[in-house]
């Protein structure tokens, strides 16, 4: 590639700073009986974004606790109604209880693509770099169609098609993530992903679990190396520099930190992980960052993002 430019990504946060933030968040959540959680989440994201530096400039998270609290309340009321229906049906017993529980699980499954769509729409709109907002432009109906089509194929193939489900969802979502007037693309395929996991599964068994670190390295490489950022004919290519030995050191030390600190070292685990990820993503290409211009609208409905927390989905895909 002519005029190839290398771009620098880094994470500069410290475990102690993260620990202080999480300690204050924990205390305030405790004394408010959990009501402070949306503000705690906003504080954590603000810090994590601000310590993630790309080409000398930090990312910014502009979501607020107030926005997340509104989403939190809507998500809580929605789930409370579902739980109330289950409890009432159990109280009455019989076939009604079984039918209601089945309906509950079907509703949860149906929510998955809606949560993915809403989470990305909110989180991307509240993410920016050098004043340029990210955005998610996917269509909810299209994501729902892909999800249920591939879920049906996964069921009738006894789980084998799950690799295609994961990659098709990932590809659709990432293909609709933008920063200003540039867009990401992802080229991973279900077939390659299936073979990668099949190899990882059997080699991990044959090596009594030792290969699991190289499996994680292969997954990280697969997720990163098929990603591009494009603006017309110009692009940034992503590559992984991670190694199996590097992942072994990261995961083993993280495990020991959690065990020997009784969980209090979680802030250092997060810090070490984010620094390792940032240090092992290489980016190069010919896209001029000065040509990025604002083109994405704001969006403030955090309900889906909060529902992802309720179901412990995290920021998925």
Helix (H, G, I), strand (E, B) or coil at 232: coil
3-state secondary structure of 14: coil
Q: Is the pLDDT of residue 184 over 90?
A: yes
pLDDT (average), residues 20-31: 97
| pLDDT at residue 261 tops 90 | yes
Mean pLDDT, range 78-84, rounded to an integer: 83
Is pLDDT at 142 greater than 50 in this prediction? yes
User: Does the pLDDT at position 168 exceed 60?
Assistant: yes
Mean pLDDT rounded to a whole number for the chain: 92
Of the listed ranges 48-62, 165-179, 300-314, the one predicted with least confidence: 300-314
Quick check: 316 pLDDT over 60?
Answer: no
The residue among 117, 85, 118 whose CA lies nearest residue 104 is 85
Decide if pLDDT at 315 tops 60: no
Separation CA 71–CA 64 (nearest Å): 11
Split at pLDDT 50, 70, 90, the class of 91 is confident
Is the pLDDT confidence value at 317 over 60?
Answer: no
- Tens digit of each residue's pLDDT (9 = 90 or more) over 51-75: 999 999 999 999 999 999 988 888 8
Question: Is the pLDDT reported for residue 195 higher than 50?
Answer: yes
Q: How confident is the model at residue 314 (pLDDT cuts 50, 70, 90)?
A: low
pLDDT given for residue 103 in this prediction = 80
pLDDT of residue 22: 96
| pLDDT higher than threshold 90 for residue 163 | yes
The pLDDT of residue 1: 45
Reported pTM: 0.90
Q: Would you list the domain boundaries of the chain?
A: 1-14+43-61+183-291, 62-181+296-317
- Rounded to an integer, the average pLDDT of 105-113 is 88
pLDDT of residue 3: 65
pLDDT in tens, 210-254: 999 999 999 999 999 999 999 999 999 999 999 999 999 999 999
Rounded to whole angstroms, the Cα distance separating 120 from 48 reads 17
**Nearest one of 316, 305, 313, 271 to 37, comparing CA atoms:** 305
CB 68, CB 302: distance < 8 Å: yes
pLDDT band at 313 (very low <50, low <70, confident <90, very high): low
| pLDDT tier at 285, thresholds 50, 70, 90 | very high
pLDDT range class, residue 20, cuts 50, 70, 90: very high
Q: Minimal CA–CA distance to 171: which of 135, 214, 222, 217?
A: 222
Closest CA to 160 of 188, 186, 187, 197: 197
């Amino acid at each position: 590639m002519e005029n190839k430019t290398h771009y620098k990504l880094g994470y500069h946060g410290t475990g102690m700073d993260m620990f202080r933030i999480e300690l204050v968040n924990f205390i305030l959540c405790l004394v408010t009986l959990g009501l402070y959680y949306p503000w705690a989440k906003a504080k954590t994201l603000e810090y994590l974004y601000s310590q993630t530096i790309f080409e000398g400039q930090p990312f910014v998270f502009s979501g607020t606790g107030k926005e997340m609290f509104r989403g939190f309340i809507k998500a809580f009321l929605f789930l409370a109604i579902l739980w109330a229906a289950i409890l009432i049906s159990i109280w009455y017993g019989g076939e009604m209880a079984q039918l209601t529980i089945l309906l509950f699980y079907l509703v949860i499954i149906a929510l998955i693509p809606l949560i993915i769509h809403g989470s990305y729409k909110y989180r991307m709109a509240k993410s920016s770099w050098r004043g340029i907002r990210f955005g998610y432009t996917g269509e909810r109906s299209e994501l729902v169609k892909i999800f249920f089509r591939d879920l049906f194929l996964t069921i009738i193939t006894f789980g084998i098609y799950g690799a295609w489900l994961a990659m098709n969802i990932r590809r659709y979502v990432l293909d609709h993530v933008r920063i200003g007037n540039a867009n990401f693309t992802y080229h991973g395929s279900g077939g390659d992903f299936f073979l990668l996991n099949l190899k990882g599964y059997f080699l991990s068994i044959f090596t009594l679990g030792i290969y699991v670190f190289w499996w994680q390295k292969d997954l990280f490489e697969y997720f990163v190396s098929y990603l591009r950022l494009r603006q017309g004919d110009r692009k940034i290519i992503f590559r992984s520099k991670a190694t199996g030995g590097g992942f072994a050191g990261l995961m083993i030390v993280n495990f020991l930190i959690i065990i020997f600190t009784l969980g209090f070292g979680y802030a250092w685990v997060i810090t070490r992980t984010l620094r390792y990820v940032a240090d092992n993503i290489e980016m190069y290409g010919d896209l001029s960052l000065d040509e990025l211009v604002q083109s994405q609208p704001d969006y403030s409905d955090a309900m889906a993002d909060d529902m992802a927390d309720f179901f412990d989905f995290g920021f998925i895909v």
